[in-house]
Amino acid sequence: MKARQWIVAAGALALLATTGCGAADMTKQASPYADAAGTKTVTLSVQSWVGARANAAVAKYLLEHELDYRVDTVQVDEVPAWDALSQGRVDAILEDWGHPDQEKRYVEDKKTIAPGGDLGVTGHIGWFVPKYFADAHPDVLDWKNLNKYASQLRTAESGGKGQLLDGSPSYVTHDKALVNNLGLDYKVVFAGSEAAQITQIQQFAKKKQPFLTYWYEPQWLFNEVPMVEVKLPPYTDACAEKGAADPSTVNCAYPTSTLKKFLNADFTRKGGKAARFLKNFHWSKDDQNEVAQMIAEEKLSAEEAAERWVERHPDVWKRWLP
């Protein structure tokens, strides 16, 4: 049939047109929305937890109002964000909790990502129980006694075991391995997102029910629901190495990590003032919590929260401006 030949010919031509004219490096293709209509655009990766949103909100506010950039924020999960950062689809990650694999691949080997310095906040992940429960049962604070309390921590979703509440699937977590390797009678239940986890914790706290949760500092929720950390086997370098080789063998606590910023390598060279500003961005745990609490507790929009903080603390941010 003639028509079929036409179709084949058209297809071949299309293929030729797309492939025939030189190389196209996919890793150098930025977002189509960037720099549209002559504006200078910075794209920030914003993760789902409130602390990270606080960073992004303040950086965005200052970039837009002090340095005349247009800022896009895109929600990408942590690991894909590294990939997107290396391809220049986002320009910066402002709060990274430690991804040694990705750091080695992109910063050391491929050199497509450049370190952006410390955020100024140190983070710690652990297992926490509410203070009211720890006060009544002080021995729950040692992991060896956790099995004793498993029956009290049962829920509909955890079946016959105790519930260890986890948040978003994107967070750094070894909880399944820990539960296995420490022989705990618990089931890890993912709430699906941090917001869901917080809602759940608040509901527990309202009824003074006991719970065990994966949680981290700094976090504004501690002001509302005081929680105490459960001691896990101490973190050692040997354990960390073992965990890096095979994550399912981890059997010790989480480290305390310095939160870092990372920028796209090209962006550090060509990003001008925005890149220098983001490198200088450095604030304390209290500053971050102040903004985070305004967003999460007082339900301000991220922009309003950033605006209020910027008004209150010119001494902090003036130093960041290039």
Partner 1 sequence: MSTATSPARPASTAKAKAPAAGSAATGPAARPAADAAPADMPPAPTAGAGPLRALWARPAARKLLVLAAAAAVLVPLAATAWGSGTWPHALTVDLTGPLGRANDWIIDNRDHHWIFLYFFGHISGAIIGAVHAVYTVLLALGWAGVTVGAGLLAWRVAGVRVAVTTLASFAVCGLLGMWVPTMRTLALMIVAVAASVVVGALLGLAAGLSERTFRALRPVLDTMQALPAFAYLMPVVLVFGIGVAPAVLATVVYAAPPMARLTALGLRATDKGVLEAVESLGATPRQRLLTVRLPLARRELLLGVNQAIMMALSMAVIASVIGADGLGDRVYQALSTVDVGSALAAGIPIVLLAIVLDRTTAAAGDGRASHGPSGRLVWPLVAAATAAAAVAARLLDARNWPGDWTLSIAAPVNDAKDWMVDHLYSGVPGVGGTAEWAAHYTGWILDPLRDGLQGLPWWGALLLVAALAWLIGTWRTALTAVLALAAIGVLGRWEVSMDTLSQVIAAVAVTLVLGFAIAVPAARSPRVDRLLRPVLDVFQTMPQFVYLIPVVALFGIGRAPAAAAAVVYALPAVVRITSQGLRQVNPGAMESARSLGATSGQQLRHVQFPLARPELLLAVNQAVVLVLSVVIIGGLVGGGALGYEVVFGLAQGDLATGLVAGAAIVCLGLTLDRVTQPTKAEKKGAGA
Positions in the binding site for partner 1 (CB under 8 A): 1-4, 6-7, 10-11, 18-19, 21-33, 36-37, 46, 48, 50, 53, 72, 74-84, 87, 89, 105, 110, 112, 156-157, 168-170, 190-196, 199-200, 299, 301
Nearer to partner 1, 33 or 145 (CB): 33
Q: Compute the least distance from the CB of residue 221 to partner 1, in Å.
A: 13
Nearer to partner 1, 19 or 286 (CB): 19
Q: Compute the least distance from the CB of residue 71 to partner 1, in Å.
A: 12
- Best CA proximity match to 75, nearest among 43, 122, 119: 43
Nearer to partner 1, 155 or 257 (CB): 155
Nearer to partner 1, 147 or 180 (CB): 180
Say which residue the tokens 């105790």 belong to.
Answer: 162
* Spatial distance between the Cα atoms of 291 and 4, rounded to a whole number of angstroms: 63
Q: Compute the least distance from the CB of residue 211 to partner 1, in Å.
A: 15
Sign of the Cα pseudo-torsion (143, 149, 152, 157, in order)? positive
Q: Compute the least distance from the CB of residue 110 to partner 1, in Å.
A: 8
- Best CA proximity match to 265, nearest among 78, 110, 37: 110
Q: Compute the least distance from the CB of residue 97 to partner 1, in Å.
A: 13
Q: Compute the least distance from the CB of residue 180 to partner 1, in Å.
A: 17
- Best CA proximity match to 171, nearest among 97, 120, 231: 97
Nearer to partner 1, 31 or 258 (CB): 31
Q: Could you give the angle at the alpha carbon of 122 between the alpha carbons of 104 and 60, nearest 5°?
A: 85
CA dihedral 153→159→161→162, nearest 10 degrees, is -20
Nearer to partner 1, 198 or 278 (CB): 198
- H helices within the chain, ranges in order? 2-19, 50-65, 78-86, 100-102, 131-136, 175-181, 194-206, 221-224, 237-245, 265-270, 272-280, 285-296, 302-312, 314-317
Nearer to partner 1, 58 or 76 (CB): 76
CB atoms within 10 A of CB 206: 9
**Phi and psi at residue 41, in whole multiples of 5°?**
-115, 140
Q: Compute the least distance from the CB of residue 235 to partner 1, in Å.
A: 22
Cis, peptide link before residue 218, omega less than 30° from 0: yes
